[in-house]
Structure 1
Amino acid sequence: MKGKGEDNGAGTGTGTGTGLKIAVAGLFHETNTFVPAPTSEESFREHWLSGNELVFDFYKGTTTTMGGVIDAAKAQGVDLAAGLYTEAPPGGIISAQTADVLLDAMVGSIDASADGLVLLLHGAMVSENYRDFEGECLRRVRERFGDKGHFPIILTLDLHANISGQMVQLSDVIIGYNTYPHVDMYECGIEAVELVIRLLRAEMAPCQAHAHTQMLVVPQGMMTEEGSMKVLMNRAFDMELDDKVLNVTVAGGFPYSDVKEAGMSFVVTTDGDAELAERYVNELKAFAIEQRESFNVSYCSPKAAIEQALAQPEGPVILAEGSDNVGGGGPADATHILEHLVDIPESTLMVICDAEAVQAAEAVGVGGEFSGYVGGKTDKLHGKPVLIQGKVRHLYDGIFQNVGAYRTGQQVDMGKTAVIQCGNLTLMLTTKRVPPFDLGHVRCVGLWPEDFKVIVVKSAVAWQAAFGAFAKQVIHVDTPGCSSANLLHFDYQYVNQPISP
């Protein structure tokens, strides 16, 4: 990550002295096209912030990309004009009507007097009418503000971005997250502001090269602190030591978006040296293809996974159910593991999204006896409801603040939440889907990881930001679901062929 700035504390985002005004705006959604239900406008309206007052109040003091942008603008003495920033939880394809509402609102919210733009996108958004949603977003911004020579755009992307040629052509610099779990978003925001300032001062001439591997890699194979992904990242960091290199982005891709550009790709941005950019980007591509088998992950059945976990001398042992990955669009109510936990002999924790069950728990109250069917209510793919009988241990409004390295300080709303004690199984029921990215989501209801021998997480990798420090072992569980690591389960129609696997 080049161009890191210092953390100068939470700022208003309004600076003095440079005469520069930078706009910031964004649309953020990781779209799983294999999820049956579409993502509606209502999902985005739950986190719809526009204008300096709303954006700054929510994001100042957080380690988010927007938090980094706000702090960097203050540190660099530039005026920051916040347009629309909205995001929705990962889910199904965005409806055509919602897509146009989002694009019109976001593009229209960008300050017309701004000198440049920091655009916060995911990279794996898909709508019914725009399969390259981010490319369409950039096209509309360029249509309003002009080409690269007149209006600089620095684009930040998630590590799971499916980067298209259009995204590269219409942006000046692409900055991707370097970590998974994503704990460097703040630094990306700082880097974006610093680069747009350098562009406006004509201190550099960005030149981007893009290469696609024709590889679909599952999220479990993208851990940036181990294996081939770590080697790839280290090679990228070494390249960034070159004074002519502005940024190297390693995008693992999102394999659950059925789009032409799906898969692992790279973008190298140099200061005016096209040949160097091409050479570096092809080096990364060649290494990834050579090591493609090493990105695979081994799995076992729910029953075998539980047996292995119970055989371990100490816990917590993490059972990672990536097929119901909330961060990948899963409904968070799959029961393929839950059905084996009702009579488990060791202390076990599992979180399930089931608004109906939460209401039933509220009806009997704390200390009351709960009896009802839990989970498996979204579709047939994620299992059948499981009968749970136990005592209501806790009821909570579901509001907590992130306390770990992921989006530190940001408020999260799980909706009304209940904790049911069913023998050795502690079942946490939420009204809204919330990925296990932060320890705060269990700590807020009085639960602590070390109190459990087994913890089931509906996540591929990002759970490590919450439970990684406590885990004694990790077992990946093979269950059906919209985010299954077995990509042969899916019927791809749009991905460029040939593709591996």
Structure 2
Amino acid sequence: MPPLKEVRIAVAGLLHETNTFAPGMTNVDAFKGEWVEGRRAFYERYAGTRTSMGGVIDAAAKHGVELEPGLYAAATPSGLVCSRAAEALIESVVASIDPAAAGLVLIMHGAMASEQYDDVEGECLRRIRARHGSGLPIALTIDLHANVSPEMTNLADVIIGYDTYPHIDMHERAEEAFELLLRRILGEIEPVRAYAHAGMLIVPQAMMTEEGAMKSLMDRAFELEDDPRVLNVTVAGGFPYADVPDAGMSFVVTTDGDRALADTLAAELVRMAWDMRTQFSIAQSPPSEAVAAALAEPEGPIVLAEGSDNVGGGAPADATHVLACLIGITKPALIVIRDEEAVARAFGIGVGGYFACEVGGKSDRLHGDPVAVNGKVRLLFDGEYRHAGPYMTGQRADMGKTAVVASGLLTLVLTEKRTAPWDLGHVRSAGIWPGDYHMLVVKSAIAWQAAFGPFARRVIYVDSPGCCSANLSHFNYRKLRRPVYPLD
């Protein structure tokens, strides 16, 4: 091998969590907000950030390896990716990979699906192999909510999934992937993988890695990784809002040349998960009961987690099931709603003007009907901020034009774009402090905790209709491999 300073490692990525039950289709334009190509653009955007891309940059610098960034494109979770977009995205990523690279770090989600491909990650890996050869070492990083397929496991040398939810370790996992890839290039290890599906669909609210059954699985995975023969254990909780054959919880165990050991450990984790299956259930309350329970609490903030409209799961962010219960509220409440028409109305009125408009419920009927809101426009701004908290620190966020409207004791933040509440900048950029409210409505399953968790005196999970509902009986699965718990 040449000296490390002469080793070139490529990095590229395509990241989208696809909710096949969400309204609308996802096209190439959805990725234009984070379409980063080439070394200069990659370093300018991601150097110093606590992202997967930042982790790869830091690992390359640590080991004195030349990094050759290709294309990285990402979009906010949303509906099925259309055929044309999938072809263009996959081909662009494959073509951007340096053909002279000694290895590749590929950053993907693991739950991307299109009209023609149930497993976009697997298809992307297949095309990379076809163009760059079966001998190219590849380390694939995936989200904890990945729906891992056998093809992904067969075509990547190393698969590294996040260990945390909320996902605050993506930087570390990218560093881990880089280092295992480098060891593979240097001939120090010979990774072999075992894949096992648990036969279970788990909702995101049950995947908090600091408590309950998910913590038990993660703790066991970490114990297994203490064995020097074990290179990595990935616990993938899966993404239940994708109607694809391999949706659900799975495990990938990577060992140094010992396939029998990998198979044994993967099977052990499946048995452990199955034995704890009833512990993955979630208690929820209908919107009116959730609001009443929050009002009955003497002190707040009380977080109302409206997971059915989870932006991070592909939902439209304009559900009104909770909003309808907050009109005329008797204690201060805060909610963020995506509504381009309402934002345009607020900007037309101007700061200090009287706002009267129907808000939300404009994507489809599943997520509720528009709600009449009367109030005062308090603030207008461009909606841009950077993450300052532990989740993707330094990452740019863009809510589009944003308006703050006060309607009695209810404060609405109205945005043009769907933006997940993963960082305090979600409201701090609008001059809002969460501690000032008795109720905080978050359109998220668990990832909101990275930003708002420290404020919550109590969390109430809301059971409402929506494309990310924790009640999986709402969904009509056609492609999912059956039987699967808890549906069967």
State the TM-score, normalized to the length of structure 2.
Answer: 0.98
Match for residue 352 of structure 2 among 353, 367, 370: 367
Matched with 1:336 is 321
Matched with 1:4 is none
Query: Within 1, Cα distance between the matches of 2:126 and 2:396?
Result: 32
Residue 22 of structure 2 aligns with an amino acid whose one-letter code is: V
Between 1:16-25 and 1:138-147, the stretch displaced more is 16-25
Superposed CA deviations along residues 299-322 of structure 1, whole A, max 9, x for unmatched, are 111111011101112110000000
What secondary structure does 1:112 align onto? coil
Residue 29 of structure 1 aligns with an amino acid whose one-letter code is: H
Matched with 1:409 is 394
Shift of 1:280: 1.0
Match for residue 76 of structure 1 among 57, 63, 81: 63
Match for residue 295 of structure 2 among 306, 310, 313: 310
Query: Within 2, Cα distance between the matches of 1:198 and 1:269?
Result: 14
Q: Do residues 470 (structure 1) and 460 (structure 2) align?
A: no
Q: Do residues 155 (structure 1) and 140 (structure 2) align?
A: yes
Shift of 1:226: 0.5
Taking the TM superposition and a 5 Å limit, the aligned residue runs for 1:408-447 are 408-447=393-432
Taking the TM superposition and a 5 Å limit, the aligned residue runs for 1:69-218 are 69-147=56-134, 150-218=135-203
Query: Within 2, Cα distance between the matches of 1:55 and 1:228?
Result: 38
What secondary structure does 1:18 align onto? helix
What secondary structure does 2:405 align onto? strand
Question: Identity rate of aligned residues, in percent?
Answer: 57
State the TM-score, normalized to the length of structure 1.
Answer: 0.96
Superposed CA deviations along residues 21-40 of structure 1, whole A, max 9, x for unmatched, are 00000000000001131101
Contact 2:23 2:363 in 1 (8 A): no
Matched with 1:275 is 260
Q: Do residues 60 (structure 1) and 47 (structure 2) align?
A: yes
Matched with 1:28 is 15
Q: Do residues 396 (structure 1) and 381 (structure 2) align?
A: yes
Total equivalences in the alignment: 485
Query: Within 2, Cα distance between the matches of 1:22 and 1:456?
Result: 43
Contact 2:11 2:68 in 1 (8 A): yes
Unaligned runs of 5+ in 2: none
Shift of 1:127: 0.5
What secondary structure does 1:395 align onto? strand
Q: Do residues 262 (structure 1) and 242 (structure 2) align?
A: no
What secondary structure does 1:428 align onto? strand
Shift of 1:231: 0.4
Matched with 1:453 is 438
Residue 88 of structure 2 aligns with an amino acid whose one-letter code is: V
Residue 173 of structure 2 aligns with an amino acid whose one-letter code is: C
Residue 450 of structure 2 aligns with an amino acid whose one-letter code is: A
Which runs of 4 or more aligned residues in structure 1 lie more than 4 Å from their structure 2 counterparts after TM superposition?
Answer: none
What secondary structure does 1:187 align onto? helix
Shift of 1:17: 4.8
Shift of 1:396: 1.0
Query: Within 1, Cα distance between the matches of 2:99 and 2:198?
Result: 38
Shift of 1:106: 0.5
Matched with 1:232 is 217
Aligned-residue RMSD, C-alpha: 1.0
Contact 2:111 2:239 in 1 (8 A): yes
Query: Within 2, Cα distance between the matches of 1:397 and 1:499?
Result: 45
Matched with 1:356 is 341
Matched with 1:50 is 37
Query: Within 2, Cα distance between the matches of 1:443 and 1:310?
Result: 24
Shift of 1:441: 1.2
